[in-house]
A and B are shown apart, each in its own frame.
Chain A
Amino acid sequence: MDLNYGPEYDDFREEVQGFIKENKNVKLTGPIRSESRINWQQKLIDHGYFARSIPKKYGGFGGDMDIIKLRIIAEEFAKSPIPKPMGGQGIQMLVPTLLELGTEEQKQEYIKPTLRGEIIWCQGYSEPNSGSDLASLQTKGELIDDQWVINGQKIWTSTAQLAQMCFCLVRTEPDAPKHQGISYLLIPMDTPGIDRRPIKQMTGDSDFNELFLTDVKIPAANIVGKRGEGWKVANATLGHERGSLADPNVTLNRLNSLIELMKSETIDGQRVIDKPTFRDRLLSIQGRVLAQQSNALRILSSQINPNQEATLSKFIVKLQGTELRHELEGLAIDVMGEMGTLYEQSPHLRDGGIWQMHYMYYLGLIIGGGTNQIQKNIISERALGMPKEPKIQGA
């Protein structure tokens, strides 16, 4: 057991701290894809604080894959209000997919502008009738005159209203078994025939969309992997999404805010944290946060020490993390009582209404990214070796 990163990393940490200090007043106010945001993103890449291990020729920093350095960058950025590197599905899912399975032309064309925040991507996976059973998707793609002609409907498409491109799963081999009939296509969002309709969520926001695709024509070359390999291509990166949905270090920040809230909220003049029943719920949640942080340390260690096994530790992150986060946000609402139900611009609103917002949003994340019931199937089948549900005749 050795939780030190080693003295050789002290200099690196100092360097990152120096950069953060120098840039502590940077604030990004412009909209997404505005010049100031792109310039900031590029500055982070130039210093190796983002896209660190992505080759220079594709717009990355071109450094080696050093997990500890990535960790130090994340730790130091988390401590500061400095703008964080941009995330999103293009960066988290599409870029790793292209690096692994894209053609040279695709890498050249898409990776750099995606990293710089010039191209925003959305993910066209789920369909109205293909949610948990994603591989049953029916959006159809036909190769006609060297063009893919796409017809169908996608749903839960995050950021589609902002996106320039969509990475999309489409059934191109209708006669093949369901997992082998899908292709992974890259669709420019300004192609004629794409209609986006926002879905209003329980939070009041519209982060998701429905996408209607009617005779959408894109070049034949806009495919990642071979025809019929789309399921494999998509699965190469689904893991990236699951791990990023419930980072315990972010949950710890929320826990600290919850503690502050419990010290400031009062009932009959008494601080809520001084009430034993509330306090015990807080402490239970704190224990669970610590357990998940320990689990995250084990995962980190397995990335640094390739011989170390941590399969189950990784499989459980999304299930455990989203449930815990939802409960944590829910405790805050109970702490505030009636005040916790205030929303939008109401008088007496606490913390801008963020607790209610997160309480609902994390219920969404319990469902999104593979429902937690699907997560339990994955854990029991892939980690515990239990059998799949048998197929029902005629279904």
Chain B
Amino acid sequence: MYFGLSEEQKSLEDNIKKYLDDNASIEIIRSVVEGDSEKANEIHKGLVDLGISSLMVPEKYGGLELDMLFAAVVAGALGYSTAPSPYAGAYVMSPLALSLAGSDAQKEEWLPKIAGGESLIGIGVSEYIGAREDAGIEYSKGSISGRCLFVIDGKNADAFIVSNKSGELFLVPASSSNIEIVELTTVDKTRTSIEIIFKEAQAELLPGSSDKSVIEKIVDAGRLILSADTVGAAQVMVDKSVAYALERKQFGRLIGSFQAVKHMCAEMAAELEPCHSMVWHAAHCLDNVPEESRIMACHTKAHVSEVGKQISKTATEVHGGMGFTDELGLHYWFKRIGLNRQLLGSPELIREEAAELQGFNQ
């Protein structure tokens, strides 16, 4: 029995953290957020060179075919450095959707290009989880109409995979006509989000997706990845809080020697530490324990989001006025955690789903 990360997983995590340490300093993150897309592309490319685009792609199509724990470990490292790079949508959910539900032709066309870092596929499943405004798509005779909000990793994508309300998935090349793309600006500018308006745009069904378990697996995987990202981001906020409390002096002593501050740090650490294990456990269940995987994914996303919210607030407070400034940059993680919390379902929505899964609400 061994519950934890393997040596390979730890070394992948270390490599990504080291790369981002060297190449994505807070100053660089700031320049990306302020519009330096060149810098973002460089970081993205560096991460692809480390393998993030090929993790989920089957070996047959040139990928590494690794398990969800690897994918979660990478997400944690990206969250830790608030990496400005596509990942959850383009490199986990989309390749998973293609692998699980794509036709041979679709797989052959796209999976090798994803693995090689040549193609990005954004994914839009918000309306499956809970439609806002009048969003939603209809498919009829090879084309779709309607709109998708909050398509993950959709900016500059080569194609999109979007779902209708019942969870069927459609592949739409970005080159299709009759597509309008609206860029959305969220609080978290380290990642992108778009809205797509389809007016009888040509679309292909992913044939396997009429089986509802496909969308469920993709959403579960996405929720796991966002949870891992939040845990990574929250961890850096705790680490920075402890470091700051050991350096900042007031009343002639380190603020970290005041119990009011120590206890805030202890509470954050106590809440966060089990979240690492919970993410590992949920990842393990997704690959190996199908009867527990859905409920673990739901609970992990909901619980980690709650803990992340609390930590992002408390860590900012530990830093005092500096925590509120752009100069310190703590807000990048605050915002990242804020976006992760809402994507693919806020805690209340997800807990309700977990209740349904257990047959609680009749």
Select which of A1, A283, A290, A300 is within 8 A of B6 by beta carbon. Answer: A1
Give the docked Cα–Cα distance between A280 and B347 (Å): 10
Pick the interface stretch among B150-158, B180-188, B278-286.
B278-286
Q: Are A294 and B278 in contact (CB under 8 A)?
A: yes
State whether A384 and B281 are in contact (beta carbons under 8 Å apart), knowing that A2-B2, A6-B1 are contacts in the complex.
no
Q: How many Å from the CB of B171 to the closest CB on chain A?
A: 32
Contact of A126 with B by CB under 8 A: no
Q: How many Å from the CB of B310 to the closest CB on chain A?
A: 12
Select which of A282, A284, A288, A301 is within 8 A of B3 by beta carbon. Answer: A301
Contact of B105 with A by CB under 8 A: no
Mostly helix, strand, loop or mixed at chain B's interface? helix
State whether A385 and B299 are in contact (beta carbons under 8 Å apart), knowing that A1-B280, A313-B277 are contacts in the complex.
no
Q: How many Å from the CB of A348 to the closest CB on chain B?
A: 25
Give the docked Cα–Cα distance between A386 and B6 (Å): 30
Residues of A within 8 A of B140 (CB): none
Residues of B within 8 A of A379 (CB): 266, 269-270
Pick the interface stretch among A108-116, A182-190, A201-209, A304-312.
A304-312
Q: How many Å from the CB of A32 to the closest CB on chain B?
A: 35
Pick the interface stretch among B35-43, B124-132, B351-359.
B351-359
Mostly helix, strand, loop or mixed at chain A's interface? helix
State whether A291 and B352 are in contact (beta carbons under 8 Å apart), knowing that A279-B361, A298-B4, A386-B265 are contacts in the complex.
no
**Closest B residue by C-beta to A275:** B361
Give the docked Cα–Cα distance between A232 and B276 (Å): 33
| Cβ proximity bits A55-87 to B, threshold 8 Å, 1 near / 0 not | 000000000000010000000000000000000
Q: Are A386 and B270 in contact (CB under 8 A)?
A: no
Give the docked Cα–Cα distance between A390 and B258 (Å): 9
Q: Are B257 and A387 in contact (CB under 8 A)?
A: yes
Size band of the interface chain B makes with A: 35 or more
**Closest A residue by C-beta to B353:** A283
Residues of B within 8 A of A375 (CB): 266
Q: How many Å from the CB of B246 to the closest CB on chain A?
A: 7
Give the docked Cα–Cα distance between A4 and B3 (Å): 10
Q: Are B303 and A290 in contact (CB under 8 A)?
A: yes
Contact of B212 with A by CB under 8 A: no
Q: How many Å from the CB of A41 to the closest CB on chain B?
A: 29
Contact of A292 with B by CB under 8 A: yes
Residues of A within 8 A of B259 (CB): 373, 376-377, 389
Residues of A within 8 A of B283 (CB): 1
Select which of B276, B303, B347, B360 is within 8 A of A279 by beta carbon. Answer: B360
**Closest A residue by C-beta to B68:** A1
Q: Are A316 and B263 in contact (CB under 8 A)?
A: no
Q: How many Å from the CB of A2 to the closest CB on chain B?
A: 5
Q: How many Å from the CB of B311 to the closest CB on chain A?
A: 14
Contact of B275 with A by CB under 8 A: yes
| Cβ proximity bits A146-168 to B, threshold 8 Å, 1 near / 0 not | 00000000000000000000000
Q: Are A385 and B242 in contact (CB under 8 A)?
A: yes
Residues of B within 8 A of A286 (CB): 299, 354
Contact of B267 with A by CB under 8 A: yes
Residues of A within 8 A of B280 (CB): 1, 294, 298
State whether A288 and B266 are in contact (beta carbons under 8 Å apart), knowing that A2-B2, A298-B277, A390-B253 are contacts in the complex.
no
Give the docked Cα–Cα distance between A276 and B6 (Å): 41
Q: Are A3 and B284 in contact (CB under 8 A)?
A: yes
Q: Are B296 and A290 in contact (CB under 8 A)?
A: yes
| Cβ proximity bits B221-249 to A, threshold 8 Å, 1 near / 0 not | 00000000000000000000010011000
State whether A386 and B257 are in contact (beta carbons under 8 Å apart), knowing that A279-B361, A300-B3 are contacts in the complex.
yes
Contact of B302 with A by CB under 8 A: yes
Contact of A103 with B by CB under 8 A: no
Q: Are A283 and B242 in contact (CB under 8 A)?
A: no
Give the docked Cα–Cα distance between A137 and B301 (Å): 47
**Closest B residue by C-beta to A270:** B362
Q: Are B263 and A380 in contact (CB under 8 A)?
A: yes
Residues of A within 8 A of B355 (CB): 279, 282-283
Q: Are B274 and A301 in contact (CB under 8 A)?
A: no
**Closest A residue by C-beta to B299:** A287
Give residues 158-199 of B contacting A (CB, 8 Å). Answer: none
Give the docked Cα–Cα distance between A345 and B256 (Å): 50
Q: Are A1 and B4 in contact (CB under 8 A)?
A: yes
Q: Are B302 and A287 in contact (CB under 8 A)?
A: yes
Contact of A344 with B by CB under 8 A: no
Residues of A within 8 A of B257 (CB): 386-390
Residues of A within 8 A of B256 (CB): 380, 386-387
Q: Are B269 and A316 in contact (CB under 8 A)?
A: yes
Select which of A1, A313, A388 is within 8 A of B69 by beta carbon. Answer: A1
Q: Are B274 and A4 in contact (CB under 8 A)?
A: no
**Closest A residue by C-beta to B246:** A386
Contact of A5 with B by CB under 8 A: yes
Give the docked Cα–Cα distance between A252 and B276 (Å): 20
Contact of A238 with B by CB under 8 A: no
Q: Are B278 and A291 in contact (CB under 8 A)?
A: yes
Give the docked Cα–Cα distance between A305 and B267 (Å): 27
Residues of B within 8 A of A5 (CB): 1
State whether A304 and B2 are in contact (beta carbons under 8 Å apart), knowing that A273-B361, A279-B361, A377-B259 are contacts in the complex.
yes
Q: How many Å from the CB of B256 to the closest CB on chain A?
A: 5
Q: How many Å from the CB of A132 to the closest CB on chain B?
A: 12
Give the docked Cα–Cα distance between A383 and B280 (Å): 21
Would you list the 4 A-B pairs with minimal beta carbon distance, nearest first?
A287-B303, A301-B3, A294-B277, A295-B274
Identify 7 new A-B residue pairs, CB closer than 8 A, beyond the known A377-B266, A380-B263, A384-B265: A1-B6, A259-B360, A295-B273, A295-B278, A379-B269, A380-B266, A385-B246
A-B contacts, 7 listed (Cβ < 8 Å): A273-B361, A284-B347, A288-B303, A291-B274, A291-B303, A316-B274, A376-B266
Which A positions have Cβ atoms within 8 angstroms of B? 1-6, 68, 259, 271, 273-274, 276, 279-280, 282-284, 286-288, 290-295, 297-298, 300-301, 304-305, 308, 312-313, 315-316, 319-320, 373, 375-377, 379-381, 383-390
